[in-house]
Amino acid sequence: MRKNAMLPDRIVQVRYQASASYALDVEIFTLAEFRRRVSAKHLGTPQRVQFHMLLYLAAGRCTHWVDFESVACRPGTLLVLGPGQIQRFETRSVDWDGWMVIYRPEFLEGRAGTTVRSELDVLHQLVDLAVHRTLSGSEQEAVTECLSRMAADARLRANAAALHALLRPQLQALLVRLHVIQARGEAASSAAPVPLQRFKRFRLAIDQELHHFHRVADYAKLIGCSQKSLQRATFAVTGTSAKAFLSQKIVLEAKRLLVHTGESVSIIAELLGFDEATNFVKFFRRASGRAPGEFRREHTVR
């Protein structure tokens, strides 16, 4: 994992780039090994990842930051990040350890571009995995076993094609296991299966079309349901309205751009699909309680 050029406000774009001696599209290593690879400065620098990442804490405690939110991590904590998210590592404590898996977005699809799917598209729609989850004792054992096996297999002396053929189904099995773990928790929630799946389609559509559509009506049309149905589904899962959930997602992306890029407010407004910068400023102030420039000054690392 190597960092690209640093952007104006100290955000580092990190893309998947294996070393010359490592030709695989997936890496599995311990967090202790990761800390030995990089400097404390790199750990503490906000990073926008351009790949998929699984972080599993097996020992110790630390704090991890994901999109302006701090997550108190303890043994059993699992974090799932995808392309575009911003994260930062703990730099104060050094006793935490566990596993990290990173892989290219296209790795699961294989060279031929054919994706192995389940009935619920669990592999293609990785966004459905919650960012933060705490695993139970038996779940920790199963996940640790998967990760240990993958790490050992990645070190085998074989050509890249053979190792990809070995590691890809193992990663798929791990992701399916995590979806099963999550589905068990969701089954105990108050949201029925149909509203839950409708909300998931809404969330995925927002991630794909955030820079173009700002109305709930547009998303209801995209996923093929009425606004009322979408509203009911969103409220059943999140306890908030579809409009409020959409606004939260727009504000989050605006915060990312304000704090971690040097673009002007007018350019950010354009990037987010606002026709006028003044409309963006009004929206951001109403949603966050402060003007974009004020938020930037409060959160920019100095």
Task: Give 89's contacts (C-beta < 8 A, 6+ positions apart).
Answer: 43, 44, 62, 64
pLDDT of 99 reads: 96
Q: Sheet holding 86-88: strands in order across?
A: 2-6, 12-15, 47-49, 86-88, 62-66, 69-73
pTM of this structure: 0.68
pLDDT-flagged residues of the chain (< 70): 1-11, 110-128, 185-193, 300-302
pLDDT of 281 reads: 95
**What is the domain class of 2-187 according to CATH?**
mainly beta
Q: By CB neighbour count within 10 A (0-12 exposed, 13-18 middle, 19+ buried), where does 110 fall?
A: middle
For tokens 């920019």, name the residue.
Answer: 300
CB–CB of 151/161 below 8 Å? Answer: no
Task: Give 250's contacts (C-beta < 8 A, 6+ positions apart).
Answer: 210, 214, 272, 283, 287
pLDDT of 186 reads: 62
Instruction: Tell me the two tokens of residue 206.
Output: 């927002």
Alpha-carbon torsion, ordered 65, 242, 246, 277, to 10 deg: -140
Q: Compute the C-alpha angle 30/36/41, nearest 5°.
A: 115
How far is C-alpha 87 from the geometric centre of its chain's CA atoms? 9
pLDDT of 30 reads: 94
Q: In this predicted model, what pLDDT tens digit does every residue of 227-236 receive, in sequence order?
A: 999 999 998 8
Q: What is the topology classification, in CATH, of domain 193-299?
A: Arc Repressor Mutant, subunit A (1.10.10)
Instruction: Tell me the two tokens of residue 131.
Output: 């960012």
Q: In this predicted model, what pLDDT tens digit does every residue of 150-188 receive, in sequence order?
A: 999 999 999 999 999 999 999 999 998 998 888 776 655
What whole-number distance in Å separates Cα of residue 184 and Cα of residue 153?
30
- Coil, strand or helix at 50: coil
Q: Where are the domains of the chain?
A: 2-187, 193-299
pLDDT of 41 reads: 83
pLDDT of 128 reads: 63
